[in-house]
Amino acid sequence: MLKPKLLQKGDTIGVISPASPSFKRSDVRRGMDTLKQWGYKVVLSKNLNKRKGFVAGTDEERAEDFNEMFSRIDIDAVFVTQGGYGSARMLRYIDFNIIQKNPKIFLGFSDITSLHLAILKKTGLITFHGPGMSRYNPEELTDYTKNHLFKAIASTEPIGEIPLADEKKWINTINPGVAEGIITGGNLTLICSTLGTPYEIETDGKILFIEELETEPWIIDHMLTHLLNAGKLDKVAGIIVGECVNCTPRQHNPGYYVDMSLEDILFEFIKPLKVPSIHGLPIGHTKDMATIPLGVRAKLDAAKKKLTIIEASVKE
């Protein structure tokens, strides 16, 4: 695995928009101000937040920004403005040789899952499933999110345990047991979209984490079926499901009942796998969000409801 250098005060962060443009123009300005207050320099990509329908510029323009930020020696880390939609559309224009020759921190989540999995598959670079720059302001960025971001990208010590952010919340054990292995995953929709492509997720012997937002249980059933039929759950070492905010049945009448809960679906698919598995960690589209490095070793103790990142994700 390739490890990027840790982020230090005075370093320069390049910002790109590989998916959708920011809805609020102020998100970028506020994020820049926050990063500068933290002691970093900021460089915006030349095509940042362009608008072409629901994506931030053409596929070629967004990939050009991505390739440039990885190739520039004056850029120490690459952050995204936000997710949304469209990252997978630019994968064919990415120069993975540039990434391999210039490993650096890459941070984002949601639609950015496409890029994380492609980079891991093609280069072995550890990347970070964590908050986009639209959250870098006092209204959006909680202490939990900030602290866990810097534990991941600014320290050569392993992150350690990923705790609950709110003691009133609950982690549900689906299957007890202990698993250790490389951690991989991201947004479930985007994981499924890699299947049958050169960027297809690798799950054998790995700890898989998944998360979703505002997705009905029957659709999650559909996507877990896709993973199951593709053999991606056959040899998985363990499974972690994030909070999955607002993943509940809606008023909808497609001609069959859709009243199963998310937990019903998770137990139906994951329980028979008999691998350590939990549901409820603050990963993904949550107010309090843990940053997860993809490609490092982790330990899951499902009976104790603990995920521990046991390998450092960055180097000096």
pLDDT tens profile 225-269: 999 999 999 999 999 999 999 888 776 565 555 678 899 999 999
Catalytic option among 61, 68, 211, 216:
211
Residue 315 lies in a domain: no
The CATH number that applies at residue 115 is 3.40.50.10740
- The mean per-residue pLDDT over the stretch 60-89 comes to 97
With respect to residue 131, please indicate whether it lies within any of the assigned structural domains: yes
Among positive and negative, which fits the CA dihedral 155, 184, 208, 214? Answer: positive
pTM assigned to the model: 0.95
Residue 26 reports pLDDT greater than 80: yes
- Examine residue 7 and state whether it is found in any structural domain, yes or no: no
pLDDT at 255 (0 to 100): 59
Residue 106 has pLDDT above 80, yes or no: yes
Together in a domain, 245 and 201: yes
Domain end call among 141, 175, 197: 141
Contact 228, 265 (CB under 8 A): no
What is the domain range of residue 175? 160-309
Q: Which of 22, 110, 193, 313 is catalytic?
A: 110
Residue in 212, 192, 211 with CA at minimum distance from that of residue 203: 192
Same-domain status, 204 and 302: yes
Asked if 132 and 201 sit in the same domain, the reply is: no
**Are residues 186 and 118 both part of a single domain?**
no
104 and 204 housed in the same domain: no
Mean pLDDT along residues 108-132:
98
146 pLDDT exceeds 60? yes
CATH number of residue 167's parent domain = 3.50.30.60
Domain count within the chain: 2
- Let me know if 202 is a catalytic residue: no
Same domain? 185 vs 287 = yes
pLDDT tier at 196 (50, 70, 90 boundaries)? Answer: very high
pLDDT of amino acid 25? 80
Q: Is 20 marked active-site?
A: no
Average pLDDT for 24-31: 90
Looking at the structure, tell me whether residues 169 and 300 fall in a common domain: yes
Q: Is the per-residue pLDDT at 149 higher than 70?
A: yes
- Which pLDDT tens digit goes with each residue over 290-302? 999 999 999 999 9
23: confidence class by pLDDT, cuts 50, 70, 90: confident
Q: Is 243 a catalytic residue?
A: no
Q: Does residue 164 share a domain with residue 112?
A: no
Mean confidence (pLDDT) of the chain = 95
pLDDT of residue 236: 98
Same domain as 181, residue 96 = no
**Is 149 within the bounds of a domain?**
no
Q: Please report whether residue 250 resides in a domain.
A: yes
Domain shared by 211 and 303, yes or no: yes
Residues 194 and 303 in one domain: yes
